[in-house]
Amino acid sequence: MSTEPSSGVYIALLRRQLTLALRRPVQLLNPALFFAIVVVLFPLGLGPAPDTLSLFAGGILWIVALLANMLGAETLFQSDYDDGSLDQLLIAEQPLYFLVMPHLLVQWLLSGVILAILSPLFALMLGLPAAGITVLMASLALGSGVMSVLGAIGAALTVGLRRGGMLIAFLVTPFYMPVLIFGSGAVRAAVDGLSYGPYLAVLGAMFSLALALGPVAIAAALRISADA
């Protein structure tokens, strides 16, 4: 029997993940609400001085995006584990690395693309110069894709464990750091009138590498968790 991945299987899994996300509006809105709350709180901690907020705006938004991404990683495979769907994925004829791609895509849409779309509003709240807003959106879209893959690897390794969120944070935070450095660096370069292209190019390379190798690592992590 053929084990070639079917586009019908992929579309069905993608539709299922989107449906599950829409049925849990609180979980769907959690990253965006967290992003908004923290951005609103930062001026209270740093003070309302526009120059101060503008100076740190790019870094603040990137740190909040990182934390919001980590917030959604813990539950990525949890519902599949709870209802037995994960066992079906593990024994399916299609390669497991292909079957986890819909999970990654939906996670990226919810914790990355939506935040990238909303980021201009929060950037204006923090006084980020207009020159950095477009670069902020582009860097968040690319960087959040990398962070979604890294978070999914951590979630796959800890699926089934109680209070796995802290363990995911310990596992993936060191790997988030290069993404944070180049993402915030791109925004800072754009604001300062410097070339931001190299920063985005590095983020794009990270994104491509994550898409190529991430699903394989996630599949291996899920099998390790299932055998544990």
Whether the model pTM is above 0.75: yes
In a domain, 171, yes or no: yes
In a domain, 54, yes or no: yes
Query: Model confidence over 180-191: pLDDT tens digits?
Result: 999 999 999 999
Query: Model confidence over 30-47: pLDDT tens digits?
Result: 777 888 888 888 777 766
* Domain, as residue range, for 106: 7-227
pLDDT of residue 2: 43
DSSP 127: T
pLDDT of residue 62: 92
Report the amino acid identity of residue 166.
M
Q: How far is CA 154 from the centre of its chain?
A: 12
pLDDT of residue 27: 66
Given a cut of 80, is residue 171 above it in pLDDT?
A: yes
In a domain, 2, yes or no: no
- pLDDT band at residue 96 using 50, 70 and 90 as cut-offs: confident
In a domain, 1, yes or no: no
CA–CA dist 56, 132 (Å, integer): 12
Number of independent structural domains in the chain = 1
Helix (H) or strand (E) holding 1: none
Percent residues over pLDDT 90 in the chain: 28
- pLDDT band at residue 135 using 50, 70 and 90 as cut-offs: very high
In a domain, 147, yes or no: yes
In a domain, 65, yes or no: yes
Cα separations (Å) of 100 from 53, 71, 76, 180? 39, 19, 10, 25
CA–CA dist 186, 204 (Å, integer): 12
Structural Rg of the chain based on CA atoms: 18
In a domain, 58, yes or no: yes
In a domain, 11, yes or no: yes
